[in-house]
Amino acid sequence: MGVARQYCGTLGKVENCQVGVFVGYASRQGYALVDKRLFLPEEWFSDAYATRRTTCQVPQDLTFQRKPQLAAAMLHALRQEGLLPFKYVVADCLYGNSPDFLAAVDACVGVTTFVAIPAETRCWLQRPRTEDKTYLYKREERTKRVVVDAEPAACPVAAVAASLPASSWYRRKVSEGTKGPIEYAFARQRVTLCKEGLPKRTVWLVIKRTLGTTPGYSYYISNAPVSTPWRTLVWLSGVRWAIEQCFEEGKTELGMAHYEVRKYPGWHHHMVTTMLAHFFLWHLKLRLGKKSPSPHGLATADHLGSRLTPADLYDCRGTGVDRVGTEAQSPGLSSASSATTRGRMTCAMERGAY
């Protein structure tokens, strides 16, 4: 069901596989998957697959949607229902490079997005001037918007990172490893994104760099206000850990990837069962686990730089839904305060390959 040669994140290459799009939800109380969609490749909607669609009980009114469109639809539904309030949305570069998904986030007033982007994403450090230019096409007068100044040209975010002076980088410890502290260097820059040669949205470009002689870079954009403090952006760069844990625990402890279903409803039934089981085990862990002022949850950005260090964001050793009982330990994403959690919820879009 939905199998085709497509990119498999688990294998890191193109293979025959299924791909699901999931919404994860994280707070200081814990994390869980709350919605899912099975991605059906475009070829599945061709006439050649008509018999197979009927056999697999694919709904007749279902139409082809790309992964970012599936994610946008789930985000819209989550916002409309209003049952799970959230203030932040994080996602990987597939969604950070999608106008449909970014537009869906923009429609959620008051929500801050923090999404990964490819290194080749182009941008300007200063928003260029544009004007409408008139031209003739097949004897018809048409108008298009063009950039007035050819220089400076838009450049890849990787070039922006390479041009930043040493004073722009801030070193942050993110975890205590077996061989000592694990640290990254962070930098940020206001940029205007380039789309089809024209300036689009102005955002924060956040760059995370590994330390060493051959550093690796990760790039993110955020619609956070200009006044957003550093600690919030550093915190958001680690929030997706909680959602990755959902998949790790679901696959290793609950058989999320162990199934042989052949029909569309069967896939959704199996995923819902796994998601409910994961949520149930978290519920038990909260009730039976070791009591603390900050149980099993996600740190809020307000506490970074005060009583909570960035290390609390990333140190996920010793956690998992399998450790239920009086000896259960709080996961690394925890808050040092008992302040209200409303407005500190985070929604994340992820792909799962099976």
Q: Do 102 and 245 share a domain, yes or no?
A: yes
Statement to judge: residues 147 and 67 lie in one domain: no
pLDDT in tens, 225-240: 998 888 888 888 888 8
Among 228, 252, 287, the domain boundary falls at 228
Residues 161 and 13 both lie in one domain? no
Q: Is residue 117 situated within a structural domain? A: no
Quick one: pLDDT at residue 346? 53
Q: What is the DSSP string of 14-50?
A: EEEE-EEEEEEEEETTEEEEEEEEEE--GGGGSGGGH
Q: Is residue 142 part of a domain?
A: yes
Which amino acid is located at 38 in the chain?
L
Place of tokens 């730089």: 305
Output the DSSP codes for 219-242.
Answer: EEEE---TT--HHHHHHHTTTHHH
Note the pLDDT tens digit of each residue in 8-24. 777 778 888 888 999 99
**Is pLDDT at 188 greater than 60 in this prediction?**
yes
Same domain, 100 and 166: no
Q: What is the mean pLDDT of the chain?
A: 79
CB 170 within 8 A of CB 233: no
Domain contains 156: yes
Q: Kindly state whether residue 145 falls inside one of the protein's structural domains.
A: yes
Q: What is the pLDDT of residues 56-112, one digit of tens each?
A: 999 999 999 999 999 999 988 988 888 888 889 999 888 888 888 888 888 888 889
Q: Is the model more confident about 41 or about 306?
A: 41
Of the candidates 228, 258, 293, which is a domain's last residue?
228
| Confidence band, pLDDT 50/70/90 cuts, at residue 45 | very high
- Residue ranges making up the domain that contains 173: 122-228
Average of per-residue pLDDT across 273-301: 70
Inter-residue contact 105 to 111 (CB < 8 Å): yes
The answer as to whether 116 is a domain residue is no
Listed in order, strand segments (DSSP E) in the chain are: 4-8, 13-17, 19-27, 30-39, 88-91, 112-117, 122-124, 130-137, 140-147, 155-156, 170-177, 180-195, 198-210, 217-222, 346-353
pTM: 0.78
**Contact predicate 319/245, CB 8 Å:** yes
- Specify the number of domains making up the chain: 2
Distances from the Cα of 301 to the Cα of 7, 227, 304, 308, angstroms: 34, 14, 5, 9
> Do the domain assignments include residue 52?
yes
Find the mean pLDDT for residues 236-251.
Answer: 86
